[in-house]
Chain A
């Protein structure tokens, strides 16, 4: 490694709230970033990784936070002690930043071009015409097909991936030496994520940039970075060269993090992958039958969308689920997977087709069909907070479900509530707690308890682990596995994360733009995808094994 461009020593940030004891948010963090190097900063939410990066450019989110110790050496300048005027030159000009959510970080009422030229004019002192020329060149470099025209477009006119490109462009416009990318692909679909990561690698090479890449996804780090630093609760628990650290993690937390990464299991060794169970022979009567279902949404002239005409959210989907089976539906955002789930449960009207639940048909007897669904199926949602009524305690919530379902005698309800909490590994004291006083993982467990309260035969889980940190995610997945075994549940598991589906489900259904493109046994589909779309989807997942490069172009480069 050449001499570091950035060297952080014992950086400490303290939060001083009036009337409270000072709290250390960053505790003596030290690390170095070499020239042209990519450093992956890994940690779960609340680990301080984003705060660390904002501290580097002295943009602390609150006035109550202070750098109380340490140095931030950029070259021979100590940013921890630099004046505010000096920092104006450093920010953007020497250290650029890109953020997770380009939609909220780009100014919605300013054209992309103006946001690019702003930095160019301020940092390089060019006049309007020269700045425009430079901006157009950058737009070209970051993959805008018509930079001259798109210069005058507003952020909302672009897709999420293009917005993230624009934000990278804005950061590049000031011509920095170091780029800090804070979860730059978390909000994007996997195929777009791969493209954005590729773009970052390309500009790193072209401009000899050093990059700090903040992420919660070890797969991304494994695929793109040279070094890894792991943060937890404001401390740097471990750092080192990528391969060393992934092969032989020293700290137990790093081990846990690597262990809970829902990576694709190696092909055919069978370990972890669920072998197709013998329960479902084709002769078995399916529990749920979806027959040529179509769902259309009337084109709403929404405030920001402005699309008109009916949208075909689900188009001619047919599938069968056998009792006791775990079926995964995967697809990117907008593929119609969640709409399908809601349509199956009778929450979204279907335009045509039929759904049959255990012999009761939606078309033949809608009332009976819905009645059985309400008593024998349940749903688990994505956002654990939004899924629970904030005004009800967990106990009240479960009691209400049991009362309405009317199958548990009133006297037995408290005991049953206790049982349900036990089932999902929540302590009984949670009966008195409200969602806001609970963590995301705890809320998700409560949501699962609510689903179990109806004694369901079928549970539909819609992205139920997507909002959770990886270690919590692994726990919830384990819970699903245990419950499936204990209660002989049939599970329809909807996710965008293929690795999760692969590790949990017997069968998988791949959806794209409302259609089913491929379905079959998990092992079969993931190891030998037949359709080009499935192949592309699988290839785009960053694997935690750095020797299994999934970015084809990046792979070429490394080699």
Chain B
């Protein structure tokens, strides 16, 4: 949409956010998960790692609404404690790439020339690797674990943000208001961080929400493969892996952690979509 058509019906963005049911819905899901994570010790009915041979592989019941696993652990409690780990994965796995990528993209786009060429070559090379394959390879070197996962994400994930921001900065750099800023003698730092970045960043913020979904799925997948979070910690990916041998008999062990991933991811997606609509960002 051109600025002109918005012109007449413009209202404060705060006003527009309040009127977005999808945004409120997405935000509600995310806030609910944050609350569950904070209150896990109080809302989970059992200890998530305590084994109890007497209640092995029990189907969902009033005592164990999500059933129990092959060690007799309460699946609901494990799902609740899992929120802490998986929410952390989604947030930390996005924040570091976001910061690195934004800085690199702004600098590369603004200065152009050799700086830009070097960074973009690096981006090309990293993008040549299938994302998960490179992340797995880095984890293979660093050894399995959540720390390795975050390092791998920071090393690989920034490229998407760098490309997004760079493309935006390139467009904005030639916009008339940037030219005006140059012609009025504004310093480079001022133009970069006060005039270009704030206008360029909306797309990345929206993208970070769908990126959070991908990071969550990848983090869970890596734990599922046994290369991320290690047992006996309750994490949804691991729980699916642990339930896999029993899918013919005890489906509940795999069903509920998977559904939790779907729910959390849905929250991020809804929030991101609605945010994109509200900020007028196109994918």
Task: Render B174-195 as a binary contact track against A, CB cut-off 8 A, 1 for contact.
Answer: 0111011111111100100011
| Assembly CA distance A439 to B4 (angstroms) | 8
Partner of B4, one of A371, A377, A385: A385
Partner of A401, one of B10, B184, B187, B198: B184
> Assuming the A-B contacts A387-B176, A391-B198, A391-B199, are A374 and B183 also in contact, with contact meaning beta carbons closer than 8 angstroms in the complex?
yes
* A168 at the B interface (CB under 8 A): no
Contact count band on B: 20 to 34
| Assembly CA distance A438 to B4 (angstroms) | 9
| Assembly CA distance A249 to B183 (angstroms) | 45
> Assuming the A-B contacts A386-B175, A404-B185, A437-B10, are A379 and B180 also in contact, with contact meaning beta carbons closer than 8 angstroms in the complex?
yes
Cβ–Cβ contact A382 & B176, under 8 A: yes
Tell me how far the C-beta of B279 lies from the nearest C-beta in chain A, rounded to whole angstroms: 11
Q: How many A-B contacts at CB < 8 Å in the complex? A: 66
For chain B residues 195-234, which have a beta carbon within 8 Å of chain A? Answer: 195, 198-199
Cβ–Cβ contact A438 & B180, under 8 A: no
Partner of A436, one of B7, B187, B194, B195: B7
* A440 at the B interface (CB under 8 A): yes
* A383 at the B interface (CB under 8 A): yes
User: Which residue of B has the minimal Cβ distance to A390?
Assistant: B199
Partner of B180, one of A371, A435, A450: A450
Residue of B182, B183, B190, B199 with most chain A CB atoms under a 10 A cut-off: B183
* B3 at the A interface (CB under 8 A): yes
Tell me how far the C-beta of B199 lies from the nearest C-beta in chain A, rounded to whole angstroms: 6
Cβ–Cβ contact A440 & B199, under 8 A: no
Tell me how far the C-beta of A284 lies from the nearest C-beta in chain B, rounded to whole angstroms: 26
What chain A residues lie within 8 Å of B183 (beta carbons)?
A: 345, 347, 373-374, 377-379
Cβ–Cβ contact B7 & A404, under 8 A: no
Contact count band on A: 20 to 34
* A99 at the B interface (CB under 8 A): no
What chain A residues lie within 8 Å of B198 (beta carbons)?
A: 391
What chain B residues lie within 8 Å of A435 (beta carbons)?
A: 3
* B6 at the A interface (CB under 8 A): yes
User: Which residue of B has the minimal Cβ distance to A406?
Assistant: B185
What chain B residues lie within 8 Å of A382 (beta carbons)?
A: 176
For chain B residues 25-67, which have a beta carbon within 8 Å of chain A? Answer: none
User: Which residue of A has the minimal Cβ distance to B178?
Assistant: A389
For chain A residues 429-472, which have a beta carbon within 8 Å of chain B? Answer: 435-440, 447, 450, 454
What chain A residues lie within 8 Å of B2 (beta carbons)?
A: 385
Cβ–Cβ contact A437 & B7, under 8 A: yes
Chain B interface helix/strand/loop/mixed = helix
Cβ–Cβ contact A454 & B184, under 8 A: yes
* A9 at the B interface (CB under 8 A): no
Cβ–Cβ contact A436 & B199, under 8 A: no
What chain A residues lie within 8 Å of B195 (beta carbons)?
A: 389
| Assembly CA distance A435 to B186 (angstroms) | 20
> Assuming the A-B contacts A404-B186, A405-B185, are A386 and B176 also in contact, with contact meaning beta carbons closer than 8 angstroms in the complex?
yes
Partner of A387, one of B7, B180, B186, B190: B180
Cβ–Cβ contact B176 & A383, under 8 A: yes
User: Which residue of A has the minimal Cβ distance to B181?
Assistant: A389
Cβ–Cβ contact A404 & B184, under 8 A: yes
What chain B residues lie within 8 Å of A374 (beta carbons)?
A: 183-185
Cβ–Cβ contact B10 & A378, under 8 A: no
* A375 at the B interface (CB under 8 A): yes
Cβ–Cβ contact B182 & A404, under 8 A: no
What chain B residues lie within 8 Å of A447 (beta carbons)?
A: 180
Cβ–Cβ contact A390 & B185, under 8 A: no
* A388 at the B interface (CB under 8 A): yes
Cβ–Cβ contact B179 & A436, under 8 A: no
| Assembly CA distance A405 to B190 (angstroms) | 13
| Assembly CA distance A165 to B174 (angstroms) | 32
Partner of B6, one of A371, A379, A436: A436
* A493 at the B interface (CB under 8 A): no
Cβ–Cβ contact B7 & A439, under 8 A: yes
* A52 at the B interface (CB under 8 A): no
What chain A residues lie within 8 Å of B7 (beta carbons)?
A: 436-440
Tell me how far the C-beta of B240 lies from the nearest C-beta in chain A, rounded to whole angstroms: 43
Partner of A440, one of B4, B177, B184, B194: B4
* A151 at the B interface (CB under 8 A): no
Tell me how far the C-beta of B20 lies from the nearest C-beta in chain A, rounded to whole angstroms: 14
Of the A-B pairs whose beta carbons lie under 8 Å apart in the complex, a sample of 5, sorted by A's number, is A377-B183, A381-B176, A387-B177, A388-B177, A391-B198
Q: Which A residues are within 8 Å of any B CB, using their own CB?
A: 342, 345, 347, 371, 373-375, 377-379, 381-383, 385-391, 400-401, 404-405, 435-440, 447, 450, 454
Q: Which B residues are within 8 Å of any A CB, using their own CB?
A: 2-4, 6-7, 10, 175-177, 179-187, 190, 194-195, 198-199
The 3 A-B pairs at the shortest CB distance, nearest first, are namely A374-B185, A387-B176, A381-B176
